Structure 1
Amino acid sequence: MGSYRHGDSWQPVEIGATKGEFMRNNSPVQGIAYDKKRAHIYLAFNDYLFKVNRDGMVLANGRFHTGREFEGICVNNSHLYAELAQRPELLHQKIK
């Protein structure tokens, strides 16, 4: 089940939600991506990355020690891509 379009309107359907507080410094989400194949949600805050299941449980987290922020993230097949701010750089990692 996913979103659908009816005429000129779009009806989103929730596929998952987070629970709890990921960042305690009021950092906004800087990237969100959904891996449909694995049913995982990826959230990016500053230089932190979280992998969450559809029930909101954190499965894994990691940090890039670059001192730079994410501009966006996406999932394509078996790779997670992340774009960093300031000097644009695109990173990728194979999803297990």
Structure 2
Amino acid sequence: MAVEIWHNPRCSKSRQAMTYLEEKGITPEVRLYLKDRPSREEIREMLDALDLPATALLRKEGAALKTEVESVIINAMAADSSLIERPVIRNGSRAVIGRPTEKIDEIL
């Protein structure tokens, strides 16, 4: 499986992650997740690859949900992908949230 990034080109951290990958000679599969929203199943798969709870993938703006119920958070992120923290980078069965950018090295 190729390296995949859930990318928002308007986000500086996401752009930094793209540059970081390219500097390492990696051309990732880019998913513009704000336009191509991931389904609940895809979010669940990404959480499994991250080995994190849904709250870890939820941006601070999503804190208004005031819940830690996985299904509620996943449904909210599937309905509004702007709630998903970025960038998310997956390599095979492992993934990381690329903050800080050097965290990406954990899956390369």
Scaled by the length of structure 2, the TM-score of the pair is 0.25
- Compare CA radii of gyration and give the structure with the larger one: 1
Structure with greater helix percent = 2
**Higher RCO structure (Cα 8 Å, ≥6 apart):** 2
Structure with greater strand percent = 1
